[in-house]
Amino acid sequence: MLRNEQDILQAIQSDEKMMNIIHAAQTLELEDWWICAGFVRSKIWDVLHGFEQPTPIDDVDVVYFDSSNLDESIEKEHERRLQQLLPAVPWSVKNEARMHLINKLEPYTSTVDAISKFPETVTALGVKLNEDGNLLLTSPHGLEDVLNLTVRPTPFFNVSEERLKIYTERLRKKRWKDRWYRVTYLVD
Protein backbone atom coordinates (compact mmCIF):
# COMPACT_ATOMS: atom_id res chain seq x y z
CA MET A 1 0.00 0.00 0.00
CA LEU A 2 1.20 3.50 -0.80
CA ARG A 3 0.52 6.17 1.83
CA ASN A 4 3.23 8.77 1.43
CA GLU A 5 6.35 9.93 -0.40
CA GLN A 6 8.59 7.30 1.19
CA ASP A 7 6.24 4.50 0.09
CA ILE A 8 6.27 5.84 -3.48
CA LEU A 9 10.05 6.15 -3.54
CA GLN A 10 10.37 2.60 -2.19
CA ALA A 11 8.00 1.26 -4.87
CA ILE A 12 10.07 2.93 -7.58
CA GLN A 13 13.40 1.83 -6.07
CA SER A 14 12.23 -1.77 -6.01
CA ASP A 15 11.27 -1.61 -9.72
CA GLU A 16 14.42 -2.58 -11.64
CA LYS A 17 13.09 -1.39 -15.00
CA MET A 18 12.18 2.04 -13.63
CA MET A 19 15.55 2.41 -11.93
CA ASN A 20 17.36 1.46 -15.16
CA ILE A 21 15.43 4.21 -16.94
CA ILE A 22 16.25 6.75 -14.23
CA HIS A 23 19.94 5.80 -14.28
CA ALA A 24 20.00 6.11 -18.07
CA ALA A 25 18.50 9.62 -17.88
CA GLN A 26 21.06 10.60 -15.27
CA THR A 27 23.89 9.79 -17.70
CA LEU A 28 22.89 12.83 -19.78
CA GLU A 29 24.02 15.08 -16.92
CA LEU A 30 21.26 17.59 -17.69
CA GLU A 31 20.59 20.76 -15.75
CA ASP A 32 17.58 20.62 -13.43
CA TRP A 33 16.26 17.33 -14.86
CA TRP A 34 13.34 15.09 -13.89
CA ILE A 35 11.46 12.13 -15.37
CA CYS A 36 7.87 13.15 -15.00
CA ALA A 37 4.19 12.64 -15.61
CA GLY A 38 2.89 9.19 -16.54
CA PHE A 39 6.15 7.44 -15.67
CA VAL A 40 5.49 8.24 -12.00
CA ARG A 41 1.68 8.39 -11.94
CA SER A 42 1.23 5.04 -13.71
CA LYS A 43 3.48 3.28 -11.19
CA ILE A 44 1.52 4.73 -8.27
CA TRP A 45 -1.85 3.85 -9.76
CA ASP A 46 -0.71 0.36 -10.78
CA VAL A 47 0.37 -0.36 -7.20
CA LEU A 48 -2.85 1.11 -5.77
CA HIS A 49 -4.89 -1.10 -8.11
CA GLY A 50 -2.84 -4.19 -7.27
CA PHE A 51 -1.74 -4.75 -10.87
CA GLU A 52 1.04 -7.29 -11.21
CA GLN A 53 2.02 -6.15 -14.70
CA PRO A 54 2.98 -2.50 -15.21
CA THR A 55 0.83 -0.42 -17.49
CA PRO A 56 2.66 0.27 -20.77
CA ILE A 57 3.51 3.95 -21.11
CA ASP A 58 3.40 5.93 -24.34
CA ASP A 59 6.60 7.78 -23.56
CA VAL A 60 9.15 8.44 -20.85
CA ASP A 61 9.21 12.21 -20.39
CA VAL A 62 12.65 13.50 -19.45
CA VAL A 63 12.49 17.22 -18.82
CA TYR A 64 15.27 19.64 -17.99
CA PHE A 65 15.91 23.39 -17.85
CA ASP A 66 18.74 24.98 -19.84
CA SER A 67 18.04 28.57 -20.88
CA SER A 68 21.50 28.86 -22.48
CA ASN A 69 20.55 26.61 -25.42
CA LEU A 70 16.98 26.44 -26.71
CA ASP A 71 17.83 24.52 -29.87
CA GLU A 72 15.36 21.63 -30.28
CA SER A 73 18.02 19.56 -32.02
CA ILE A 74 19.80 19.21 -28.66
CA GLU A 75 16.70 17.49 -27.27
CA LYS A 76 16.73 15.09 -30.23
CA GLU A 77 20.41 14.34 -29.59
CA HIS A 78 19.60 13.52 -25.97
CA GLU A 79 16.82 11.19 -27.15
CA ARG A 80 19.23 9.50 -29.54
CA ARG A 81 21.75 8.93 -26.75
CA LEU A 82 19.08 7.47 -24.48
CA GLN A 83 17.80 5.28 -27.32
CA GLN A 84 21.29 3.81 -27.62
CA LEU A 85 21.31 2.97 -23.92
CA LEU A 86 17.76 1.56 -23.70
CA PRO A 87 16.31 1.09 -27.21
CA ALA A 88 12.99 -0.39 -26.04
CA VAL A 89 12.08 2.75 -24.08
CA PRO A 90 9.94 5.41 -25.85
CA TRP A 91 12.03 8.43 -24.85
CA SER A 92 10.85 12.03 -25.06
CA VAL A 93 13.26 14.76 -23.96
CA LYS A 94 12.16 18.39 -23.62
CA ASN A 95 13.95 21.52 -22.46
CA GLU A 96 11.37 23.33 -20.34
CA ALA A 97 13.29 26.58 -20.88
CA ARG A 98 11.85 26.59 -24.41
CA MET A 99 8.50 24.86 -23.92
CA HIS A 100 6.73 28.05 -22.86
CA LEU A 101 7.17 29.18 -26.48
CA ILE A 102 5.39 26.06 -27.76
CA ASN A 103 2.65 26.40 -25.12
CA LYS A 104 2.34 30.20 -25.64
CA LEU A 105 2.87 30.97 -21.96
CA GLU A 106 5.09 33.12 -19.80
CA PRO A 107 8.59 31.63 -19.43
CA TYR A 108 9.00 28.95 -16.80
CA THR A 109 11.57 29.62 -14.08
CA SER A 110 12.66 26.00 -13.57
CA THR A 111 11.69 22.45 -14.42
CA VAL A 112 9.58 22.14 -11.27
CA ASP A 113 7.80 25.39 -12.21
CA ALA A 114 6.97 23.83 -15.60
CA ILE A 115 5.82 20.58 -13.97
CA SER A 116 3.56 22.58 -11.63
CA LYS A 117 1.78 23.92 -14.73
CA PHE A 118 0.93 20.51 -16.20
CA PRO A 119 -2.84 20.08 -16.66
CA GLU A 120 -3.53 17.59 -13.84
CA THR A 121 -2.20 17.43 -10.28
CA VAL A 122 -1.70 13.66 -10.69
CA THR A 123 0.58 14.27 -13.67
CA ALA A 124 2.56 17.07 -12.00
CA LEU A 125 5.09 14.62 -10.55
CA GLY A 126 8.74 13.86 -11.22
CA VAL A 127 11.57 11.63 -10.06
CA LYS A 128 15.34 11.80 -10.43
CA LEU A 129 18.59 10.86 -8.78
CA ASN A 130 20.59 13.53 -7.00
CA GLU A 131 24.38 13.77 -7.12
CA ASP A 132 24.64 11.28 -4.25
CA GLY A 133 22.50 8.73 -6.08
CA ASN A 134 19.46 9.23 -3.85
CA LEU A 135 16.03 9.05 -5.48
CA LEU A 136 14.06 12.29 -5.23
CA LEU A 137 10.38 12.96 -5.87
CA THR A 138 8.84 16.32 -6.74
CA SER A 139 5.13 16.92 -6.37
CA PRO A 140 4.37 20.65 -6.59
CA HIS A 141 0.70 20.06 -5.73
CA GLY A 142 1.29 17.36 -3.15
CA LEU A 143 0.56 13.65 -3.28
CA GLU A 144 -2.98 13.55 -1.91
CA ASP A 145 -4.69 13.48 -5.32
CA VAL A 146 -2.50 10.79 -6.88
CA LEU A 147 -2.69 8.62 -3.75
CA ASN A 148 -6.48 9.07 -3.56
CA LEU A 149 -6.88 8.35 -7.30
CA THR A 150 -8.45 11.79 -7.78
CA VAL A 151 -7.79 13.67 -11.00
CA ARG A 152 -8.26 17.42 -10.83
CA PRO A 153 -6.80 20.36 -12.74
CA THR A 154 -3.75 22.11 -11.39
CA PRO A 155 -4.38 25.65 -10.18
CA PHE A 156 -2.78 26.86 -13.41
CA PHE A 157 -5.42 25.04 -15.47
CA ASN A 158 -8.31 25.86 -13.14
CA VAL A 159 -8.36 29.59 -13.90
CA SER A 160 -10.21 29.87 -17.21
CA GLU A 161 -12.77 28.06 -19.32
CA GLU A 162 -10.18 27.77 -22.10
CA ARG A 163 -7.70 25.91 -19.91
CA LEU A 164 -10.41 23.76 -18.31
CA LYS A 165 -11.50 22.77 -21.79
CA ILE A 166 -7.94 21.58 -22.51
CA TYR A 167 -7.99 19.65 -19.22
CA THR A 168 -11.32 17.92 -19.93
CA GLU A 169 -10.31 17.10 -23.50
CA ARG A 170 -7.10 15.49 -22.22
CA LEU A 171 -9.12 13.34 -19.80
CA ARG A 172 -11.34 12.21 -22.65
CA LYS A 173 -8.36 11.28 -24.82
CA LYS A 174 -6.29 9.67 -22.06
CA ARG A 175 -9.14 7.37 -20.98
CA TRP A 176 -7.41 6.62 -17.70
CA LYS A 177 -10.59 5.18 -16.16
CA ASP A 178 -10.54 2.38 -18.74
CA ARG A 179 -7.36 1.05 -17.11
CA TRP A 180 -7.48 2.43 -13.57
CA TYR A 181 -11.16 1.91 -12.79
CA ARG A 182 -11.02 3.44 -9.28
CA VAL A 183 -9.95 6.87 -10.58
CA THR A 184 -12.32 9.81 -10.07
CA TYR A 185 -12.28 12.93 -12.27
CA LEU A 186 -12.93 16.31 -10.67
CA VAL A 187 -13.14 19.89 -11.80
CA ASP A 188 -12.97 22.37 -8.91
Domain boundaries, the chain: 5-185
pLDDT in tens, 131-153: 999 999 999 999 999 999 999 99
Q: What pTM was computed for the model? A: 0.96
For residue 134, what pLDDT is reported? 97
For residue 102, what pLDDT is reported? 86
Is the pLDDT score of 188 beyond 80? Answer: no
3-class DSSP assignment, residue 92: strand
For residue 1, what pLDDT is reported? 86
Q: Write out the H or E segment, with its range, that includes residue 170.
A: helix 161-174
Tally of helices (H runs) and strands (E runs) in the chain: 9, 7
Q: From 5, 19, 15, select the one nearest 129 (Cα to Cα).
A: 19
Residue 58 one-letter amino acid: D
CB-based contact 177:49 (threshold 8 Å) = no
Helix axes 38-49, 5-13, angle to 10 degrees: 100
pLDDT in tens, 50-108: 999 999 999 999 999 999 999 999 999 999 999 999 999 999 999 999 999 888 889 99
pLDDT in tens, 108-122: 999 999 999 999 999
Share of the chain above pLDDT 70, in %: 99
For residue 187, what pLDDT is reported? 78
Residue 135 vs residues 30, 86, 102, 111, 126: alpha-carbon distances, Å: 16, 20, 30, 17, 10
